[in-house]
Structure 1
Amino acid sequence: MAKRIDVQGLTAYYGSHKAIEGITLHVEPRSVTAFIGPSGCGKSTFLRTLNRMHEVTPGGRVEGKVLLDNEDLYGPGVDPVSVRRTVGMVFQRPNPFPTMSIYDNVAAGLKLNGTRLRKSQLDDVVEKNLRGANLWNEVKDRLDKPGSGLSGGQQQRLCIARATAVEPEVLLMDEPCSALDPISTLAVEDLIDQMKAQYTIVIVTHNMQQAARVSDRTAFFNLAAIGEPGRLIEVDSTEKIFSNPSVPATEDYISGRFG
Structure 2
Amino acid sequence: MSKRIELKSLDVYYKAFLAVQDVSMVIEPKAITAFIGPSGCGKSTLIRTLNRMHEVIPGARVEGQLLMDGEDVYGPDVDPVRVRRQVGMVFQRPNPFPTMSIKDNVLSGYKLNNSRMSKAEAEEITEKALVGANLWNEVKDRLEKPGSGLSGGQQQRLCIARAIAVEPDVILMDEPTSALDPISTAAIEDLAVELKEHFTVVIVTHNMQQASRISDMTAFFNIAGSGLPGKLIEYDKTEKVFSNPTEQQTEDYVSGRFG
**Which category of TM-score, normalised to the shorter sequence, fits these structures?**
over 0.9
1:114: Cα distance to partner? Answer: 2.2
Distance 2:66 2:118 in 1: 36
Note the alpha carbon deviations across 1:80-127, whole angstroms, 9 max, x for none: 101000011000000000000000000000111222211001100000
2:48 alignment partner in structure 1? 48
Distance 1:88 1:65 in 2: 20
Unmatched 5+ stretches in structure 2: none
- 1:103 maps to amino acid: K
2:197 alignment partner in structure 1? 197
SS of 1:127's equivalent in the other structure is helix
Q: Which runs of 4+ in 1 moved over 2 A?
A: none
Q: How large is the Cα RMSD of the aligned pairs?
A: 0.5
Q: Is residue 240 of structure 2 the alignment partner of residue 240 of structure 1?
A: yes
1:78 alignment partner in structure 2? 78
Note the alpha carbon deviations across 1:110-149, whole angstroms, 9 max, x for none: 1112222110011000001101101001001110100000
Note the alpha carbon deviations across 1:208-251, whole angstroms, 9 max, x for none: 00000110000000011111000000000000000000000001
Distance 2:222 2:9 in 1: 16
- 1:140 maps to amino acid: K
Distance 1:72 1:56 in 2: 18
Distance 2:114 2:68 in 1: 24
Unmatched 5+ stretches in structure 1: none
SS of 1:116's equivalent in the other structure is coil
2:99 alignment partner in structure 1? 99
Q: Is residue 225 of structure 2 the alignment partner of residue 225 of structure 1?
A: yes
Q: 1:55-204 alignment to 2 at 5 Å?
A: 55-204=55-204
Distance 1:107 1:36 in 2: 32
- 1:121 maps to amino acid: E
1:20 alignment partner in structure 2? 20
- 1:80 maps to amino acid: P
Sequence identity percentage? 68
2:39 alignment partner in structure 1? 39
Q: Is residue 213 of structure 2 the alignment partner of residue 213 of structure 1?
A: yes
Distance 1:184 1:149 in 2: 16
Note the alpha carbon deviations across 1:27-84, whole angstroms, 9 max, x for none: 1110000000000000000000011000011211010111000000000111110100
1:8 alignment partner in structure 2? 8
TM-score (norm 1): 0.99
- 1:69 maps to amino acid: D
SS of 1:179's equivalent in the other structure is coil
